Amino acid sequence: MEDIMHIQSLFLRRVVSAVIGKAIQKAGYKANVLLNDLRVTHADKNKNVRVHLDIDAEMSEAELVNLLEKAGIV
């Protein structure tokens, strides 16, 4: 059996965008977030979850560098 969640409506995308934005703010970053697409697929046979997330985020260059440094990318 396979479960699929696909959020397409503007209302729910805005709700999820707000939640993601709040999580980013709690982490100490300032960014405007817009969720474009979210798809989650779960199959019982392999117990893996596949997540496709398409987000646009707008932040200052300094915030981006800070975020990348904290993630160990730069």
Q: Which residues of 50-70 are buried (b: 16+ CB within 10 A; e: fewer)?
A: eeeeebebeeeeebeeebeee
pLDDT attached to residue 60: 94
Q: Cα–Cα distance between 57 and 55 in angstroms, integer?
A: 6
Question: Band of the pLDDT at 74, cuts 50, 70, 90?
Answer: confident
In contact, 29 and 63? CB cutoff 8 Å: yes
Q: Residues 32, 35, 36, 42: is their CA dihedral positive or negative?
A: positive
Indicate if the pLDDT at residue 7 is higher than 90: no
Q: Tell me the per-residue pLDDT of 27-71, one tens digit each, with 9 for 90 and over.
A: 888 889 999 998 999 877 778 898 998 999 999 999 999 888 988
CA angle (55, 61, 25) in 5-degree steps: 55
